[in-house]
Amino acid sequence: MTNEYAIECEELRRVFRSRRLTGQVEEVVALDSLSLQVRPGEVYGVLGPNGAGKTTAIRIFSTLLIPTAGSAHVMGHDVVGSAGEVRRRIGLILGGERGMYERLTGRQNLEYFASLYLMNPRRGRERAQAVLEQVGLAHAGDRRVEQYSRGMRQRLHVARGLLPDPDVIFMDEPTIGLDPEAAQDFRRLVPELRERGKTVLLTTHYMLEADLLCERIAVIDHGSLVALDTPDGLKQRFGAGQVTEATLRHASPDLIERLRAVRGVTAVESEMEGAAQRVKVHSDVGRDVATSLRNLAGADTLQSLVTREPTLEEAYLSLIRESGTG
């Protein structure tokens, strides 16, 4: 295989076999003929519902799991045949907070993990200091992890992933459970990694995060690729045109039906918010739904009215529903 891609897999398949209490053997196809190509220096998102196979793919790329069939390469090295070469070039960052030694300081944890990477003590100390600075934890490096907040713990996880100065970084739901501020902090780190030439493969269930960070996004479902595009491309292809949102001071009984009859309107949703009614209209691009809404509801009833592009979340949801499983 070539070195053209930082990460790639071809027709990757992984089947899990587990024995039930009844003795019956059950097979789960976690990945089914998945092919992906990630360019060097790219931030690449992998989205998909629970159980889609995202973590399984990351475990295969990071040599923790062997595929049932197909192949995977990282920086040109086969993840099965050259697992050692792959491991030397990757960092793995998982969400959640486990896996650190609570009674040790952040710095001591990092120096310990550096020794597992077979760095000599001096190099370990240097790298620990470097990554503490990189993730903004230098001020707290000498405090015990038990005193760290969630956000600080996650930064320490990131620091651990960066210790070997990897070319390729896998992040599996890195911001899960973080408060908005800590998550935002983390999201600032990703473009910095990119600027330093790192390749990042990231899974997340936060669509705004994917939209903000990723150059391209693969959507997978039931272990197979269902779409691959830029965030804007996904919005255009699957976001169902444009969205017009309005808030009405009071409910207008047959408004929904009449809106549905407007030419170019593809879907109408509505919900009450106290006495006010919120209406969301999907329509073909370029349709002047705003005018129809104004006419149908009456201008004095309208509290707010805005036409916008669909969000990545809206595109994702319609794509997953379309793929028949959501």
Ligand X SMILES: Nc1ncnc2c1ncn2[C@@H]1O[C@H](COP(=O)(O)OP(=O)(O)OP(=O)(O)O)[C@@H](O)[C@H]1O
What does the binding site for ligand X look like in residue numbers (CB under 6 A)? 16, 18, 28, 30, 48, 50-56
Local structure of residue 310 (DSSP, 8 states): P
Cβ at position 32, least distance to Mg ion in Å: 16
Is residue 261 classed exposed, middle or buried when 0-12, 13-18 and 19+ CB atoms within 10 A define those classes? exposed
Cβ at position 46, least distance to ligand X in Å: 8
Name which of 144 and 205 has its Cβ closer to Mg ion. 205
Name which of 58 and 74 has its Cβ closer to ligand X. 58
Distance of CA 168 to the CA centre of its chain: 16
Helix (H, G, I), strand (E, B) or coil at 130: helix
Tell me the C-alpha to C-alpha distance, in Å, between residue 317 and each of 11, 41, 219, 280, 311.
25, 28, 11, 15, 10
Cβ at position 274, least distance to ligand X in Å: 35
Q: In terms of Cα–Cα distance, which of 186, 214, 216 is closest to 94? A: 186
Name which of 28 and 116 has its Cβ closer to ligand X. 28
Residues found near Mg ion in the complex (CB under 5 A): 54-55
Which structure tokens are listed for 46?
Answer: 């992998």
Name which of 228 and 302 has its Cβ closer to ligand X. 228
Considering CB distances under 5 to 8 angstroms, the limit depending on partner class, which of Mg ion, ligand X, none binds residue 52?
ligand X
Considering CB distances under 5 to 8 angstroms, the limit depending on partner class, which of Mg ion, ligand X, none binds residue 24?
none
* Cβ atoms of residues 231 and 217 within 8 Å: yes
Cβ at position 176, least distance to Mg ion in Å: 9
Considering CB distances under 5 to 8 angstroms, the limit depending on partner class, which of ligand X, Mg ion, none binds residue 30?
ligand X
Q: Please tell me the distance from the alpha carbon of residue 170 to that of residue 61, in angstroms, as a whole number.
A: 8
Name which of 67 and 124 has its Cβ closer to ligand X. 67
